[in-house]
Amino acid sequence: MTSQVVREILRETRERLSASTPPTDPMKVNDPRNLPARAADLRSRGISPIIAEIKPRILGRSLLPEEVAAMARRYEADGACAISVLTQPTYFLGSPENAKSAREASSLPILRKDFILEERQLDEVGCDLVLLIAAFSKDLDGLVEAAEARGMEPLVEVHTEEELIAALKTGTRMVGINNRNLSTLEVSLDTFERLGPVAKGTGLFVVAESGIETRKDVLRMEEAGADALLVGTSLMREPALLPHLNGAARP
């Protein structure tokens, strides 16, 4: 059972898809940027790998391309591992163009974050990584394969043990464990502490998502096995927080 907000987003996404014309040609991302390599480089320098998010909803308005570009450049300068871009247009006020602007402005891996329900959505914009939410993907394995065929690395998001099992049956090399409950929208870092070690034990690259607000939270998630951490709300409210979260700001 998902929350009313999530159900509305899914309904709107399906309506938008039914009214749109599918792209003519499949997207192809040449020379995709490598998230695990970037994370390893940061760790070798004592910096926690933070995937910094561009999330317009927190500001209550859509963003101009130049604003997206400026955010992407600042995140890179402050030591982000990658940049996540919300592209869902109604609730999150994002757009595929935002992902394009971020990728053009930065050399970091770009993660597209949206509600991907059909393969043709993968052809809307080229990114290095794409979020696939296990709870909403009827053909998760097919979407994973379709993303990889386009040169995009799928990050399969899970919230429960059952979803993690489903993700492990696909060819994904990455999973994101979301600390937000889809039914209540409540956040608990306990979710990652329960599922993170299981995912880590399979050899996957594991990302902790949601509820990470302090350096203490970062260290807690890393202790539970996080290879990278996705942070959105906190950074949109206070961009200067990033060097403190990732440990780059030394006393």
Domain boundaries, the chain: 33-245
Contacts of 228 (CB under 8 A, 6+ apart): 35, 39, 49, 50, 51, 81, 82, 205, 206, 207, 208
Q: Which token pair is 206? A: 């594991």
% of residues, the chain, pLDDT over 70? 99
97 or 249: which leads in pLDDT: 97
**Distance separating the N- and C-terminal Cα atoms of the chain:** 46
CATH entry 3.20.20.70 includes domain 33-245: yes
The predicted model gives 152-160 an average pLDDT of: 97
Residue 177 pLDDT class (50, 70, 90 cuts): very high
| 137 φ, ψ (degrees, to nearest 5) | -100, 110
The predicted model gives 239-246 an average pLDDT of: 96
1 pLDDT above the threshold of 80: no
74 pLDDT above the threshold of 70: yes
At 50, the amino acid letter reads I
- Cβ atoms of 245 and 216 within 8 Å: the answer is no
133 pLDDT above the threshold of 60: yes
Q: Which token pair is 148? A: 């990889």
Residue 132 pLDDT class (50, 70, 90 cuts): very high
Its pTM stands at: 0.96
Is 181 in a helix, a strand, or coil? coil
Residue 183 pLDDT class (50, 70, 90 cuts): confident
Give the pLDDT confidence of 209-233 residue by residue, as tens digits. Answer: 999 999 999 999 999 999 999 999 9
Position 23 scores a pLDDT of 77
Which run of H or of E encompasses 121? none
Residue 80 pLDDT class (50, 70, 90 cuts): very high
Position 250 scores a pLDDT of 65
135 pLDDT above the threshold of 60: yes
The predicted model gives 153-171 an average pLDDT of: 96
Give the whole-angstrom CA distance, residue 101 versus residue 85: 10
Active site residues: 53, 55, 113, 157, 178, 209-210
